[in-house]
Structure 1
Amino acid sequence: MSLFKRSVVAEITSHAGVVFSTLMVVWLSVLLVRLLGEAANGAIGADIVFGLAAFSSITALPVILAVSLFIAVLTTVTRSYRESEMVVWFVSGLSLKDWIAPILRCALPVSLLIALLTLFASPWAYRQIGEYRQRYEQRSDLSKVTAGQFIETQGGDRVFFAEEPSAPGEELGRVIARVIDPEWHSIITAESANIQTEKNGDRFLVLSSGHRYDLKPGKPDFRLFDFDRYGFRLESKSDSTSLEAVRREAESKTKARPTGQLLADDTDRARSQVMWRLALPLAALNLALLALPLGAVNPRLGRSGDYLLAGLVGLLYMNLINLSRGWISNGQLAFGVGLWLVHALFLALMMYMMWRRLRVKAPKKPSPPAPV
């Protein structure tokens, strides 16, 4: 490999690593804030936050890799123009076309990695995310109760609040619960609570030393009970769902279905998802080549306008892919046309911009001398 190609590949790789690390840190920061908010609201368990963050990061990797490659190539080409390094290469007999080979040397492995992620890894990650969330939803009510937090279960029909246990052997301290059934609205308080599992697998929440207040909605009926021990069913063994059922339900979602199943499914929704999985690696390759003419700038001009234009082009590219996916899903666009149309348009744009950069303009004819 020549010195030129080695230097270009090394710089693109270095810039891509920095951009990728930055985007991943930003993505994980936003994701963790959102997941911790869901955990605080009781939508998910605190013990599955990091698992969900890991699998969600896998699903985001294709877009992050494509954007990182685009910015890395754009930054490398722009820097070479602004620091007049491009002049040295041009004087040495190279042209802008000679940049295509080192760019493809970096872009092809990234595009292949994105294809593996979109076709195989991302669907698997979506299935794992679905299973994590469904397992949490299938937990018993008591397993979702966290000391110091209000937790809603069964669509809001049960609301729990528990304190830390004050005596050894207790699983929960003081408990207050609101229970809504078709006839009564109940408020239950107790000094402590424990789980009791019967021989048939049913689980009960057993409250100790408490009170129950019942009110019938719309009627002046009111009941008050004092109890030493009070239990109500939390989970029946027959209510639990097998892991295989959870897996089947997760795979029924389009994003989580394996690519082989989507190819065998002759529906517009399945074809739109296949189009999306194939479009991302092609878009990464196209954007890397498109960054070459977009990065060819005049060193004497400001740099913000060029980066803004490149960002708008990349944003337009991804939005058109999303738009094509929606049209395919609604049956408004054929799968074959939607798969190649956007990429062909931007490939033609790249070739036109390269032709504009490479063509040599004829010198202007001198104007005739003015008459004396």
Structure 2
Amino acid sequence: MIFQRTLLREFAITGIGTLLVLLAITVTTQFIRFLGYAARGSISTDAVVTFLGLAGLRYLPILLSLALFVSILLSLSRAYRDSEMVVWFTSGQGLLSWIRPTLLYALPLVFTIGLLSLLLTPWATGKAEEYRRLLESREDVSAISPGIFKESKRGDRVFFVEKLTMDLSVVANIFVYSEEEQETGVTVAARGFTETSPNGSRYLVLEDGRRYVGPPGTAEYKIIEFEKYGVRLEEKAQQTYLPSIRSRPTNELLQERNPETDAELVWRVGMPLSALALSMLAIPLSFVNPRAGRSVNLMLAAFAYLLYNNSLSIVQTWVSQEKVTFAVGLLGPHLLTFAIVAFLFYRRVAVSSLFSKLRRMRA
């Protein structure tokens, strides 16, 4: 059917373009954010790409939902603006005829959003938390950002490196300040790298440098020149931890029912439901009045999206605080949105029918 194929092609082209733009914006902002963390020494430089990928997976359901809504809205708004709607309406394709092709386009994406929200996003969140704990438990040279003084976990050492090699395995121009019993030591070296011994101990191996050792406040310092010098890196003892509610698998949340897990389920299940509701809401919101201009419906659609998204967050908070039941929090916002969609469809169809009757009476 030409009508259906035309709409699906238009939706797909607009959707891909919208998703690419949203991904570019998200990746750029998150990349700048993690670079800032690395510059402050909060995370290691080689962890930026890993955290960026995991953050992208966490944001993907929201980006897909927004791209779905925007692609339908822009495609139908353009059809109104270019008078294509007039052609379709006169060909017998009423407003309700747009539901079927919209669902054919939206349902695969809604299913994908559901899988991401219920399965992949918790996994990515858990991996990010696990990786962050792993970095925090290590006293590694790779965790040192060039140009920044980094204190060890125990507070008895301070590291500084001037630069890293491209593969991040070797550091150059190293400064190490250490406190050992009644003496302090200052070590400078041309380069260094980490090495693991057969028994599992890890060392920072420094090459071509000097070490100054002596009691503080006196001139009795020993100067030691070395070709290779090893500094043992202590590993932080593993601590027991409880994973955050956002990182727990969905099946665990279903087994352990309490206000906190119910609130998280409201959000996860609500993502695909909201995507479906928004795809239907985009049809009546796409109407463009030539006298009012295109921006009016776009502003209204943006307001509707923000209101809907914020309502999900509010309801999630209410469920966690036991102000509303789980069933109300899970279905309430979506049923209300579908009711608004039905009203808007009824209003648009009623207005169109009224105008058709008036034209026939005048004829």
Smaller-chain TM-score bracket: 0.7 to 0.9
Contact kept, 8 Å, 1:141 with 1:153, in 2: the verdict is no
Cα distance, 1:185 vs. partner? 10
Which residue of structure 1 aligns with residue 334 of structure 2? Answer: 343
CA distance in 2, matches of 1:185, 1:290: 72
Conserved 8 A contact 2:161-2:172: yes
SS in 1 for 2:21: helix
**Secondary structure of 1:210's partner?**
strand
Residue 330 of structure 2 corresponds to residue 334 of structure 1: no
Q: Which amino acid aligns with 1:209?
A: R
Q: Distance in 1 between matches of 2:134 and 2:86?
A: 61
The structural deviation recorded for 1:210 is 2.5
Superposed counterparts of 1:317-332, under 5 Å: 317-332=308-323
Change (3 A) 1:339 1:296: same
Computed over aligned residues only, the root mean square deviation of the Cα atoms, in angstroms, reads 3.0
Whole-Å Cα distance in 2 between the matches of residues 20 and 164 of structure 1? 37
Whole-angstrom distance in 2 between the partners of 1:185 and 1:317? 63
| Corresponding residue SS for 2:28 | helix
In the aligned structure 2, how far is the partner of 1:21 from the partner of 1:173? 39
What's 1:161 paired with? 160
* Inter-partner Cα distance in structure 2 for 1:155 and 1:330: 39
Q: Which residue of 2 aligns with 1:37?
A: 36
| Contact persistence 1:41–1:151 (CA under 8 A) | no
Matches within 5 A, 1:52-67: 52-67=51-66
Question: 1:226 maps to what in 2?
Answer: 222
Indicate conservation of the 8 Å contact 2:40/2:145, yes or no. no
Name the CA shift for 1:191/1:52 in 2 (closer, same or farther; >3 Å).
Answer: closer
Q: For residue 106 of structure 2, what is the aligned residue in structure 1?
A: 107
Provide closer, same or farther for how the CA distance between residues 163 and 69 of structure 1 changes in structure 2, counting only shifts above 3 A. Answer: closer
Report the equivalent of 1:142. 141
1:227 offset after TM fit, Å?
A: 4.5
Aligned to 2:361: none
AA aligned opposite 1:37 = G
User: Is the 2:163–2:171 contact (alpha carbons within 8 Å) kept by the matching residues of 1?
Assistant: yes
Structure 1 stretch 278-287 or stretch 32-41: which is displaced more? 32-41
Task: State the Cα distance separating 1:225 from its structure 2 match.
Answer: 3.8
Quote how far apart the aligned CAs of 1:80 are.
Answer: 1.2
Deviation of the 1:202 alpha carbon:
3.8
Bigger drift between 347-356 and 198-207 goes to 198-207
Judge which range, 4-13 or 139-148, deviates more: 139-148
**Partner in structure 1 of residue 299 of structure 2:** 308
What is the number of equivalent residue pairs in this alignment? Answer: 344
Aligned to 1:190: 188
Q: State whether residues 45 and 142 of structure 2, in contact with CA within 8 Å, keep that contact through their aligned partners in structure 1.
A: no
> CA deviation digits over 1:177-212, x for unaligned, max 9?
45579x989573434676676675444557763224
User: Using a 3 Å threshold, how does the CA distance of structure 1 residues 337 and 188 change in structure 2: closer, same or farther?
Assistant: same
Show CA shifts across 1:279-308 (max 9, x none).
000000000100111111212321112111
- The structural deviation recorded for 1:121 is 0.9
Unaligned runs of 5+ in 2: 165-169, 359-363
Secondary structure of 1:255's counterpart equals helix
